[in-house]
Structure 1
Amino acid sequence: MRSPTATARQGMITTPHHLATAAGQRVLAAGGNAIEAAIAAGAVLTVVYPHMNSIGGDAFFGIDDGKGYVSGLDGAGSAGAACSIDKYRALGFDAIPKRGPPSATTVAGMVSVWGEAFEQSRQWGGTFSWADLLAPAIALAEDGFALNAGQPSSLHAHWDILSKTQRFVDTFAPEGVIPLPGSHFKQIALANTLHQLAQDGAESFYRGALGQRIGNGLHAEGSLLDAADLAAFRCKRVDLLQVPYRDGQVVNLPPPTVGMTALMVLAILDRFDLTGLDPQSARFVHLQVEAAKLAHQLRDQYLNDPDFNPVPTAKLLDSAFIDRLAASIDPDRAAPFTNGPTPGDTVWFGVMDAEHRAVSAIQSICWEYGSGVMAGDTGILWHNRGHGFSMDPQHVNALAPGKRPSHTLNAPLFLKDGKTRIVFGTMGGEAQPQISTAVLTRALDLGMPLDEALDAPRWVIGRAWGDQSPTSLKLERRFSQQTYDELAAMGHEMEWFPGDYSDFVGHAGIIVLCDDANMQGCADPRSDGAALGVDS
């Protein structure tokens, strides 16, 4: 079931859907840069993977300019001005609903990230217009495409929860009939909105006629958001966090993302020699699981919007502190584990261009089909990331107007000698740090070919997303019974995922700059994706 590894010299892209990969490759082949390819691919993903992401969701980019400067774009949408704990309690809620209009609590930051990234691409000498980059997505929304199996499957699994508004049903299951895999699927209202966005620019999503329509449409559906909330939002350009790993550095996004947690897992593992370990052995899994437990428990304690409550990232990533965490791991025994609810689902994709500029990108509507609410007649499906806020005013992640919720999203890069050598990442809800770590360690520490590193069976401790057990260690069934039993003997609470390949262990991807010329890329066989390269 392995996905083929692509090799090229002039550019590489990997995404979880082949149509998005093709759109990005066309940009690279025409001389476009990594950001331009990322915007084109990201826009297509919002059309062809609507159960995973939408322009009504959030996004984060980790960007390397190829000259030693890395930065991030934080598109975590903030809670609306009317979205307070008192307001939700007055409406009769003791928790923010997971679906429906009241779950549409935060602004969507994705388009703002695209707009800011587009301006940076112009500074790089980019020649594609904004409209050019949205054109492939518009065509697919307008003319349609053949559905993959994931979208109908997600609809069947969540139909009773999602089919509460007529516009949602009309968009994704016309006449109330869930389409079959392979069906030709069009989104005319979304195509019209994308046309307007292409004509008026990214700013129009927030501070133009389009933003007014979106805000009014959400409010009419029963969301507490309105057009003024969109007008007040702008994504943030942020400095990336970093930790040493092996002979390089891993960089990732700061809070409110879980990038801090992902870095902690790798920093802890940097204290252990993984070379020579069997990638399907109990010891290999145990060390990674124990590192993840430590990092996730600290995430639950601290992760929130640092504009409201400072997050001690310097302390948490300090070398001496990481030393103490690593020393606390028993190589033969599982530590107790509790895991707080930090929901999420998403798409990750990566790009590297001919000048070795790189983008690690992630986009999300949180859970499958997000809130299930359409923004009026725009064809935009809105996310439900805000339902992860706490209604306890003393909680670090307590709901407050203008506050960004803690995010499961992260967008890592591995650098060596000041240059990105590996672009990697994954979807997978709150298990993303575990999944991306498994991929990186197999490729970097164990030297596995990229297709093997992505294909190899994976695990999740706690939830990936949804309502899974928050404490058990779950394995794909291609692990041996011996490994399962050895982990159980170490004290892990064990479960099998159903099937040999599970979406719950992520749709990952990876690009490696093998030397100063050749690139390799691969997509996860669990996805509908592909990696494609460009050679002149």
Structure 2
Amino acid sequence: MRNFYNAGRSVTYGLTGAVATSNTQASQAALSILKSGGNAMDAAIAACAVQCVVDPMQTGIGGDCFSLVAMGGGSQIEGLNGSGKAPMALTADYLLSNGQDKMDPTNIHSVTIPGAIDAWTRLHEKYGSMEFADILKPAIDYAENGFVVTQRTSVDWARAVEKLLKNKSATEIFLNNGKPPAAGTVWRLPKLAATLKAVAKNGRDAFYKGDIAAQMTESLKAAGGLHEVEDFAATGADFVTPIHTEYQGHRVHQIPPNGQGITALIMLNILKRFDLEGLDPNGAQRLHLEAEAARLAYLARNKYVADPTKSDVPIEMLLSDEFADHLCGYIEVGKAGDPTGANALERHRDTVYITVVDKDRNAVSFINSLFQDFGSGIACSKTGVIFQNRGYGFVVDPNHPNCIAPGKRPMHTIIPGMVTKDGKAALSYGVMGGGYQPVGHAHVLTNIWNYGMDVQEAIDCPRAFYNAGVLEVEEGVPAPVRAELTAMGYQLADTSMPLGGAQFIAIDPDTGVLSGGSESRKDGCALAY
């Protein structure tokens, strides 16, 4: 339990339903849906749609979506992969012949086809209970009539000005005379409101066919893209069987590749081979072992993770005890290992993660993203849509399994999480933050299971991220710990902004109590009743 002499948050408790998001407007929308009779999926989609409006640098309908679902709170977890694909005309040979031997996050060729709207409609068709138009009403209202820009959102918005200024449509939609909105500003997105209204009325096809798809394609082609309306029409999310590993009597579930969820599972497989309980949770030894697990797991990710429909991804081998034992052989306790190749992709501040549990104990773990801040920075003035830059997750190497190819999904960073125990859903959670997410999953889960923290304490605990040879540490990591890590051989750097953003709901199997925790590094909250 928290020390009430210190600033912080308490766990949010409820018996009927709970939500946790990184924006209070989204949390309120989700709770309102639950109280009006909607279920967890209805509430999650409503909250996500709101955040696509009020947090436009962090997520949008021009991005992608993944979800894990435990209907009725059982152990049968279902997954949906709503990641978009590269245009059918785009090849590695085309990029190489034009002098592009690696992906550029602001280049038009980093724009993959948005998968979010298709994902929402498929999830709603399978799990939802309310009318889809009613679910989108709060988001449409905010876009049309205005929303108040929150503090953290204003900071992230301001950091993206240079990117937005490179695209006329993005400048017109998201800046006022070239300036971002300050916290407390009322902002409207009327073009996005019109697009959402069309989707509310006519569903998926309103976005992927007809005028809206043609207008988006026109904008992309004007920027030099090879996108066609047929690429939009062919977009389809896939229901998938989650992958998992065991940790201290719990089963941790993730979406399989092309997502990087397998990286978090590899980390847990490594960490369970060490006595974490005997270590200070904020000490150098614990952070050292976490850094080494991350180093090795990201090396594996970068070598193997790709679109499994286009490449052979050895999932069983990567999750095996033999592979975890093999990786542990590269860990020298008390010494930083060789970081060569362990690049997690740059950390960034964006993505939204949402978790909802309803009265029937349907649990939804839901994540939606543009990838980096405002995605590619390329927008469509007629629709209000700004496009993701998920193609940055590809490589331009014909011999690599994750090489860009027509109709292929890139290695993807967003990963919803779900935990089951003794045949029941126990924890619906996620930790956003781009390449940081697997570390965030492992860090917060081990905070709970190895160190006995409640969900809010586990979220608030200081974080570190070992990426490409640099161990980024938050302000909460004290000087003596930093000195010890430096002595181990790590190159330390202060984080420019806090690491990641987590939302958690735990379900007590005996009492039915829901315990919600929400990221203090963000603007949101957990709400329950």
Please give the TM-score of this superposition, normalised by the length of structure 1. Answer: 0.93
Alignment of 1:180-195 (within 5 A): 180-195=182-197
Secondary structure (helix, strand or coil) at the match of 1:40 reads helix
- Measure the CA separation in 1 of the matches of 2:97 and 2:316: 39
The equivalent residue for 2:504 is: 510
Alignment of 1:306-455 (within 5 A): 306-338=308-340, 339-340=342-343, 342-343=345-346, 345-455=350-460
- Measure the CA separation in 2 of the matches of 1:434 and 1:317: 17
- Cα deviation for residue 116 of structure 1 reads 0.9
The equivalent residue for 1:173 is: 175
Alignment of 1:510-529 (within 5 A): 510-516=504-510, 517-529=512-524
The equivalent residue for 1:260 is: 262
Instruction: Give the counterpart letter for 1:523 in structure 2.
Output: S
Secondary structure (helix, strand or coil) at the match of 1:176 reads coil
The equivalent residue for 2:242 is: 240
Instruction: Give the counterpart letter for 2:103 in structure 1.
Output: I
- Measure the CA separation in 2 of the matches of 1:92 and 1:497: 33
Contact 2:109–2:391 (Cα < 8 Å) also in 1: no
- Cα deviation for residue 330 of structure 1 reads 2.4
Instruction: Give the counterpart letter for 1:340 in structure 2.
Output: N
Secondary structure (helix, strand or coil) at the match of 2:332 reads coil
Seq. identity, %: 35
- Cα deviation for residue 154 of structure 1 reads 3.3
Instruction: Give the counterpart letter for 1:103 in structure 2.
Output: S
- Cα deviation for residue 491 of structure 1 reads 1.9
Instruction: Give the counterpart letter for 2:377 in structure 1.
Output: G
Q: 1:478 aligns with which of 454, 476, 479?
A: 476
Contact 2:472–2:493 (Cα < 8 Å) also in 1: yes
Contact 1:3–1:530 (Cα < 8 Å) also in 2: no
- How many residues are aligned here? 518
The equivalent residue for 2:294 is: 292
Secondary structure (helix, strand or coil) at the match of 2:295 reads helix
- Cα deviation for residue 452 of structure 1 reads 1.8
* The 10-residue stretch of structure 1 (167-176 or 524-533) with the greater mean CA deviation from structure 2: 167-176
- Measure the CA separation in 2 of the matches of 1:383 and 1:132: 26
- Measure the CA separation in 2 of the matches of 1:391 and 1:519: 46
- Measure the CA separation in 2 of the matches of 1:150 and 1:89: 39
- Measure the CA separation in 2 of the matches of 1:524 and 1:262: 19
Secondary structure (helix, strand or coil) at the match of 1:426 reads strand
Secondary structure (helix, strand or coil) at the match of 1:175 reads coil
Q: Quick one: structure 1 residues 512 and 276, their matched pair in 2 at CA, closer, same or farther if it must change by over 3 Å?
A: farther
* The 10-residue stretch of structure 1 (256-265 or 509-518) with the greater mean CA deviation from structure 2: 509-518
**What per-residue deviation string (whole Å, max 9, x for no partner) do you get for residues 19-78 of structure 1?**
111111111122221111111111111111111111000110011112332111101110
- Measure the CA separation in 2 of the matches of 1:497 and 1:100: 26
Contact 2:259–2:411 (Cα < 8 Å) also in 1: yes
- Measure the CA separation in 1 of the matches of 2:294 and 2:99: 37
The equivalent residue for 1:533 is: 528
Q: Quick one: structure 1 residues 389 and 324, their matched pair in 2 at CA, closer, same or farther if it must change by over 3 Å?
A: closer
- Measure the CA separation in 2 of the matches of 1:177 and 1:423: 38
- Measure the CA separation in 1 of the matches of 2:324 and 2:170: 47
Please give the TM-score of this superposition, normalised by the length of structure 2. Answer: 0.94
The equivalent residue for 2:89 is: 82
* The 10-residue stretch of structure 1 (432-441 or 86-95) with the greater mean CA deviation from structure 2: 86-95
- Measure the CA separation in 2 of the matches of 1:318 and 1:20: 39
Q: 2:158 aligns with which of 148, 153, 156?
A: 156
**What per-residue deviation string (whole Å, max 9, x for no partner) do you get for residues 262-311 of structure 1?**
11111211222322532111111111111111111101110111111110
Contact 1:7–1:519 (Cα < 8 Å) also in 2: yes
Secondary structure (helix, strand or coil) at the match of 2:264 reads helix
Contact 2:12–2:526 (Cα < 8 Å) also in 1: yes
Contact 2:65–2:83 (Cα < 8 Å) also in 1: yes
The equivalent residue for 2:276 is: 274
Q: 1:12 aligns with which of 11, 18, 23?
A: 18
Q: 2:198 aligns with which of 193, 196, 199?
A: 196
**What per-residue deviation string (whole Å, max 9, x for no partner) do you get for residues 176-214 of structure 1?**
232222111100000011011100012322234433333
The equivalent residue for 1:58 is: 64
- Measure the CA separation in 2 of the matches of 1:332 and 1:102: 43
Gaps of 5+ in 1: 463-469
The equivalent residue for 1:467 is: none
- Measure the CA separation in 1 of the matches of 2:50 and 2:517: 19
Secondary structure (helix, strand or coil) at the match of 1:370 reads coil
- Measure the CA separation in 1 of the matches of 2:107 and 2:145: 29
- Measure the CA separation in 2 of the matches of 1:449 and 1:341: 28
The equivalent residue for 1:67 is: 74
- Measure the CA separation in 1 of the matches of 2:386 and 2:9: 30
- Measure the CA separation in 1 of the matches of 2:304 and 2:234: 26
Confirm whether residue 493 of structure 1 aligns to residue 491 of structure 2. yes
- Measure the CA separation in 1 of the matches of 2:24 and 2:448: 23
Q: Quick one: structure 1 residues 224 and 486, their matched pair in 2 at CA, closer, same or farther if it must change by over 3 Å?
A: same
Contact 1:341–1:388 (Cα < 8 Å) also in 2: no
The equivalent residue for 2:102 is: 95
Secondary structure (helix, strand or coil) at the match of 2:177 reads helix
Secondary structure (helix, strand or coil) at the match of 2:159 reads helix
Contact 1:17–1:527 (Cα < 8 Å) also in 2: yes
Contact 1:28–1:37 (Cα < 8 Å) also in 2: yes
**What per-residue deviation string (whole Å, max 9, x for no partner) do you get for residues 487-535 of structure 1?**
112222222225xxx33x101111111234101001110000100012x
Instruction: Give the counterpart letter for 1:520 in structure 2.
Output: S
